[in-house]
């Protein structure tokens, strides 16, 4: 029985897809008298089955070597498209984490969107979301992975634009979709190039090909840059990072998954591509550069945000920047630990933030305050999630950061400075947000904010318990080093950076007047961070302006040149026909003369052109 469950692990993502299909009668309006809640129950039931199935499969993979399952679904001549599934403790564990967080987010959504008329449509999209994420976790084929990434992009567009009656939501969904498409198109070029160069798109075959590949420096560079473009967009890394900020206009239950495992899916694909990227030193250096810029820049930007969800979302980009640095230096162990610890802690933070926004009807930090006495469970969840995210002993974030410091302590020491800086800035931001939301005197919108309903409290408290027990889980899975192997200097630096960050955040002079800054620095610098270094405006005056100018030039050429030539030919034909009408005499000799003159003219023209 256990072996059967292991061999059918590929069904786990399909449970979510089947749940989405079962919700269609309600989501498209065929069934209305029962209300939308039965659709949610179908999806919850199928996700629970997937979680149970995945748990038994994960237990089996702990004692077995990695297995590969292949389906040859299209074989034509030398072309062989294969669905390849990898069953290992890492891939099945990642899939199980996706299913667990998806289940908790769906229960949370049942309380958050209780009175929303489109509840069934939301759960259908969540099932689609879950299927794509779970499939990426166990996929062992670049072709299948790319197809699932496209599903993920479509799901992101639909979920961000869930409340499509609001103009700002429509704009955010459009920008998120188009920004990701930039990376996806470049990734598709890399996938097609690999299919020609390597002859296969299965990761094991690609790894073997990489060992003997002989590419020119130009081809290797272009191939590597194309492969990292897709994950750059999915992980909201500079310069394709603006979409995650705008995506916070969507419902909070979707933001829980988007900031925990959706962005991690792109990083997970990047980790799988790491052995292939060795062929291009330029691509590896680009990863390190993009990761460094995003990690430091996003950490600084998050401190200047007055929107609750945006303040947390920018820290997501920062932590994924650390993953890019790790992959660039080929330290995949550090990258996986960051994804694991960050995903759970960030999901808990967004659950707490979602309860605050629901009960205050606001995401503006300057309109909150004093919610700690009214929402103690949400406050405790925020504290645990924040402590699990930064390097405070002994929660999961500490062990992930410690792995990074130990990896780069003796080589590339500047990376340890980046890790410590990101940890300290994140601590400052989280303490600042905590004080603005839960401490102080309540503002008008926070005076009658009750605790979240039980449907939101149960998954939030459950995830808080998981966050606290995460080090024990990591120890059980042999992910933690022994005490004798700990770099005590690195541990001390990490802990001190977290404590110093918390102290600075606690000592900041907060300004609730609506200004973008909460700390004593010049206003110009505060605005620089608050508006994300004006990258949006930079794009508007460069890329957007160039595309707009090209579109106007193309429209002018089409109207006055192409249409002008066509209209001229039509006008000439009309006038020629009108003129020939008067030459009709009814005498055959005139017709023959006209034919002879025309044939002669054509012959002269052909002779002249050939000569």
Q: pLDDT tens digit string along 576-600? A: 666 666 666 666 666 677 778 777 8
Q: What average pLDDT does the segment 414-430 reach?
A: 92
Confidence (pLDDT) at 482: 67
**265, 278 in Cβ contact below 8 A?**
no
- Number of domains making up the chain: 3
More confident residue, 6 or 139: 139
For residue 565, CA distances in Å to 559, 560, 576 come to 10, 8, 16
- For residues 60 and 5, give the distance between their C-alpha atoms in angstroms, rounded to a whole number: 9
Query: Do 92 and 147 lie in a common domain?
Result: no
Query: Do 131 and 183 lie in a common domain?
Result: no
Q: pLDDT tens digit string along 256-289? A: 888 888 888 889 999 999 989 888 899 999 999 9
Confidence (pLDDT) at 199: 81
Domain boundaries, position 463: 141-541
Confidence (pLDDT) at 488: 82
pTM confidence score: 0.88
For the CA atoms of 38, 41, 42, 45, the dihedral, rounded to the nearest 10 degrees, stands at -160
- For residues 548 and 552, give the distance between their C-alpha atoms in angstroms, rounded to a whole number: 6
Q: Is the dihedral of CA 515, 516, 522, 523 positive or negative?
A: negative
pLDDT at 445 over 80: no
pLDDT at 516 over 50: no
Query: Do 98 and 51 lie in a common domain?
Result: yes
pLDDT at 383 over 90: yes
Packing angle of the helix pair 217-234, 142-160 (nearest 10 deg): 40
pLDDT at 126 over 60: yes
Of the residues 117, 140, 163, the one at which a domain ends: 140
pLDDT at 461 over 90: yes
Of the residues 510, 525, 541, the one at which a domain ends: 541
The lowest-confidence range among 27-36, 288-297, 382-391, 406-415 is: 27-36
More confident residue, 603 or 153: 153
> SS3 of 200, please?
coil
Place of tokens 């400052």: 428
Q: What average pLDDT does the segment 447-476 reach?
A: 87
Q: Is the dihedral of CA 239, 240, 245, 249 positive or negative?
A: positive
Query: Do 134 and 148 lie in a common domain?
Result: no
Confidence (pLDDT) at 459: 92
Neighbours of 44 (CB within 10 A): 19
pLDDT at 382 over 90: yes
H helical segments located in 304-447 = 308-328, 332-360, 376-389, 396-408, 413-438
pLDDT at 80 over 70: no
Q: pLDDT tens digit string along 156-212? A: 888 888 888 887 888 888 888 888 888 889 999 999 888 888 888 888 888 988 888
Those residues with Cβ within 8 angstroms of residue 165's Cβ, 6 or more apart along the chain or in another chain: none
Confidence (pLDDT) at 610: 57
Query: Do 358 and 316 lie in a common domain?
Result: yes
Query: Do 122 and 165 lie in a common domain?
Result: no
Please report the DSSP string for 464-497 in residue order.
Answer: HHHHHHHHHHHHHTT-S--GGG--HHHHHHHHHH
Confidence (pLDDT) at 517: 45
Of the residues 518, 541, 564, the one at which a domain ends: 541
Query: Do 324 and 388 lie in a common domain?
Result: yes
pLDDT at 324 over 90: yes
Mean pLDDT of the chain, nearest integer: 84
Q: What average pLDDT does the segment 559-569 reach?
A: 80
Q: Which one, of 65, 72, 73, lies nearest residue 91 by Cα?
A: 65
Query: Do 22 and 119 lie in a common domain?
Result: yes
- Please state, for a pLDDT cut of 70, what percent of the chain lies above it: 93
- For residues 428 and 437, give the distance between their C-alpha atoms in angstroms, rounded to a whole number: 14
Q: Which long-range contacts (CB under 8 A, 24 or more apart) does 538-542 make?
A: 539/242
More confident residue, 509 or 502: 502
Query: Do 463 and 509 lie in a common domain?
Result: yes
- Please state, for a pLDDT cut of 90, what percent of the chain lies above it: 20
Query: Do 135 and 223 lie in a common domain?
Result: no
């Amino acid at each position: 029985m256990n072996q059967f469950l292991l061999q059918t692990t590929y069904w786990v993502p399909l449970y979510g897809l089947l749940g989405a299909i079962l919700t269609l009668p309600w989501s498209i309006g065929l069934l209305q008298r029962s209300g939308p809640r039965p659709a949610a129950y179908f999806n919850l039931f199928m996700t629970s089955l997937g979680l149970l199935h995945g748990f038994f499969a994960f237990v089996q993979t702990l004692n077995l070597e990695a297995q590969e399952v292949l389906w040859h679904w299209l074989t034509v001549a030398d072309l062989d498209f294969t669905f390849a599934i990898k069953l290992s403790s890492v891939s099945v564990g990642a899939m199980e984490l996706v299913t667990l967080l998806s289940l908790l987010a769906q229960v949370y959504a049942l309380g958050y969107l209780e009175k929303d008329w489109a509840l069934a449509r939301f759960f259908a999209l969540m099932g689609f979301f879950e299927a794509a994420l779970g499939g990426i976790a166990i996929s062992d084929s670049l072709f299948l992975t790319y197809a699932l990434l496209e599903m993920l992009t479509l799901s992101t567009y639909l979920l961000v634009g869930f409340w499509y009656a609001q103009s700002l939501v429509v704009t955010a969904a459009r920008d998120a979709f188009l920004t990701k498409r930039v990376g996806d198109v470049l990734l598709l070029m890399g996938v097609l190039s690999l299919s020609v160069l390597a002859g296969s798109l299965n990761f094991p075959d690609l790894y073997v090909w990489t060992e003997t590949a002989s590419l020119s420096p130009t081809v290797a560079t272009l191939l590597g840059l194309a492969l990292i473009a897709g994950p750059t967009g999915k992980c909201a890394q500079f310069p394709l990072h603006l979409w995650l900020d705008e995506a916070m206009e969507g419902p909070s239950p979707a933001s829980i998954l988007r900031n925990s495992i959706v962005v991690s899916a792109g990083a997970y694909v990047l980790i799988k591509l790491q052995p292939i990227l060795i062929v291009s030193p330029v691509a590896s250096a680009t990863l390190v550069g993009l990761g460094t810029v995003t990690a430091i820049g996003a950490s600084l930007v998050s401190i200047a945000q007055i929107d609750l969800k945006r303040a947390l979302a920018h820290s997501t980009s920062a932590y994924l920047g650390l993953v890019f640095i790790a992959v660039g230096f080929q330290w995949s162990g550090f990258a996986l630990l960051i994804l694991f610890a960050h995903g759970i802690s960030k999901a808990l933070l967004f659950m707490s933030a979602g309860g605050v926004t629901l009960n205050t009807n606001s995401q503006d930090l300057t309109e909150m305050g004093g919610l700690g006495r009214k929402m103690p469970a949400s406050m405790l969840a925020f504290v645990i999630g924040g402590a699990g995210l930064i390097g405070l002993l002994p929660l999961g974030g500490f062990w992930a950061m410690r792995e990074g410091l130990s990896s780069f302590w003796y080589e590339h020491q500047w990376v340890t400075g980046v890790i410590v800086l990101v940890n300290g800035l994140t601590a400052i931001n989280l303490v600042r947000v905590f004080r603005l939301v839960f401490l102080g005197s309540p503002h008008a919108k926070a005076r009658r904010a009750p605790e979240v309903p039980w449907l939101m409290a149960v998954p939030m408290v459950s995830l808080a318990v998981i966050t606290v027990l995460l080090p024990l889980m990591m120890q059980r899975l042999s992910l933690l080093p022994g005490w004798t192997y700990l770099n005590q200097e690195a541990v001390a630096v990490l802990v001190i950076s977290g404590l110093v960050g918390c102290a600075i955040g606690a000592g900041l002079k907060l300004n609730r007047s609506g200004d973008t800054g909460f700390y004593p620095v010049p206003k110009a610098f505060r605005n620089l961070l608050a508006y994300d270094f004006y990258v949006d405006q930079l794009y508007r005056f460069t890329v957007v302006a160039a595309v707009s100018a090209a579109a106007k030039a193309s429209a002018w050429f089409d109207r006055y040149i192409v249409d002008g030539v066509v209209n001229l030919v039509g006008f000439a034909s009309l006038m020629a026909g009108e003129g020939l009408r008067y030459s009709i005499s009814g005498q055959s000799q005139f017709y023959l003369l006209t034919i002879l003159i025309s044939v002669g003219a054509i012959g002269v023209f052909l002779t002249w052109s050939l000569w």
